[in-house]
Amino acid sequence: MTSNNNEVRQYIDKVLEDIKIKNPSEYEFHQATKEVLSSLKPLLLKEPRYMQNSILERIVIPERTIIFRVSWMDDNHKIQINTGYRVQFNSSVGIYKGGLRFHPSVNLGIIKFLGFEQIFKNSLTGLSIGGAKGGSDFDPKGKSDGEILRFCQSFMNELYRHIGSTKDVPAGDIGVGGREIAYLFGQYKKLTGLFDGVLTGKGLNYGGSMARTEATGYGSVYFAQNVLKSVNKEIKGMRCCVSGSGNVALYTIQKLHTLGAVAVACSDSKGTLYHENGLDFETLKEIKEVNHGDLKTYTEIFEDSIYTPKEHYAQDTHHIWSIPCDIAFPSATQNELNLHDAKNLIANGVLLVNEGANMPTTLEATKYLIENGVLFAPAKAANAGGVATSQLEMAQNSSMVSWSFEEVDKKLKDIMDGIFKRAYETAKEFGCEGDLIMGTNIAGFKKVADAMIRQGV
């Protein structure tokens, strides 16, 4: 028995409408659920068991949402209060896994959108990992090391009781890098007396994995290589714009250069940097990763580079997307590439948009890019290298071994090739060859939904 078109459309629309009614101010979550559910239509038409088992209604509600107070003392001995979150979204195919974000914009809607996307991303890796996300509206910028330490300790004072190496394993995300993971891990260890793989992204001298730092950026470029190969092109010689200059952006730039492509621009929350002959990775790393500094200082070292502060961007645009390039790698944050940006990219002949950040492209921009023949690599597939390598870190922790950089990098590349293959072939199976959004969403969803059905109500 198959469902008919109207029935499926009404089912999807009803679930999306209910999400808006029950979670009125969670705009990013509305966007993420709309993007996924709308692309599942061909699957629901062909296989009615998902409707019969109320899978959509179930999958859009987290299994558990934890919201908690985080109070900590600043350097002036004043008590500061933030909100902490952990959304354990779905554990049908494995333990909860997903990063922690510390950024002033964090709210429940943002954590839910990230946790929801994480379900399908993790499923698509082919590994056994469920979906979760967490974080806080704490802003690490401008804080002393002592303040970051005290915040992380207070955050973990509540979080520790909800996580564990066979239960929920958080990692980093925006504002949570090696320093924060180390402080969080130290406090978890004090509270529980356990030295186990409860967090990933750990330092190499206390259980971290080689190549985890590089993994999301490298993986994003490996994915782009696969997309280009499917249209008989190669990455060598391509000019690229990579937004952001954090973890994902930096290692995207490094891998692009290794493969003979040229990254000409990057950005941060204050402005955009353009270097026609190619950005210098080591200098960028020193400024942003080591010194947590300002991108503008790059121009003091390379006088032929150009810095454009945010205040000079044309209205409603992000300057980086008006710079001509063959490949755009949005790798900073959500909704950083809008319809105006998409039009600028197309006018300058962009070939591929490869999402390094989570949901960086608005729904309107995505539609416009695709309608105009631009290749599109969605985040759930293109940036899955980070979480996949986190799982490799967990595997090394539990078996007490350490793999070399080359071994981990090779496994990462194989995983990214596998993700591309699954997304590409799924799209083909459903009559939409080349539509990687549909292929990614259907392949990621199917595995989780089938596990939910098998496991009962």
Enzyme catalytic residues: 133
Q: Which residue among 126, 197, 386, 444 contacts ligand NDP (CB under 6 A)?
A: 386
175 binds ligand NDP (CB under 6 A): yes
130 binds ligand NDP (CB under 6 A): no
Alpha-carbon Rg for the chain, nearest whole angstrom, is 21
The one segment of 27-35, 192-200, 243-251, 298-306 that binds ligand NDP by CB under 6 A: 243-251
Rounded distance between C-alpha atoms, residue 135 and residue 83, angstroms: 8
358 binds ligand NDP (CB under 6 A): yes
H-type alpha helices, 313-404? 339-347, 363-371, 379-382, 385-399
Dihedrals φ, ψ of 308, to 5°?
-115, 110
DSSP class of 238: -
Pairing type for strands 79-90 and 306-309 reads unpaired
Size of the residue set binding ligand NDP (CB under 6 A): 22
377 binds ligand NDP (CB under 6 A): no
Q: Which residue among 125, 136, 226, 245 contacts ligand NDP (CB under 6 A)?
A: 245
Supply the minimum distance, in Å, between the C-beta of residue 134 and ligand NDP: 12
Dihedrals φ, ψ of 122, to 5°?
-65, -40
List binders of ligand NDP among 205-234 (CB under 6 A): 216
Task: Give the angle 230-235-237 at the CA atoms, nearest 5°.
Answer: 140
291 binds ligand NDP (CB under 6 A): no
Q: Which residue among 62, 130, 135, 246 contacts ligand NDP (CB under 6 A)?
A: 246
CA of residue 213 relative to chain centroid, distance: 14
269 binds ligand NDP (CB under 6 A): yes
The one segment of 14-22, 52-60, 168-176, 203-211 that binds ligand NDP by CB under 6 A: 168-176
Q: Which residues pair with 171 in a beta bridge?
A: 99
CA of residue 193 relative to chain centroid, distance: 31
CB-nearer residue toward ligand NDP: 122 or 157: 122
98 binds ligand NDP (CB under 6 A): no
What are the DSSP calls for 323-338, one per residue? S--SEEE--SSTT-B-
330 binds ligand NDP (CB under 6 A): no
Pair 359, 382: CB distance under 8 Å: no
CB-nearer residue toward ligand NDP: 12 or 163: 163
- Write the single-letter amino acid at 301: I
**Helix-then-strand count for the chain, H and E:** 18, 12
CB-nearer residue toward ligand NDP: 224 or 357: 357
CB-nearer residue toward ligand NDP: 130 or 386: 386
Q: Which residue among 94, 172, 378, 439 contacts ligand NDP (CB under 6 A)?
A: 172
- Write the single-letter amino acid at 66: I
What is the binding site for ligand NDP (CB under 6 A)?
172-175, 216, 244-249, 268-270, 331-333, 356-358, 383, 386
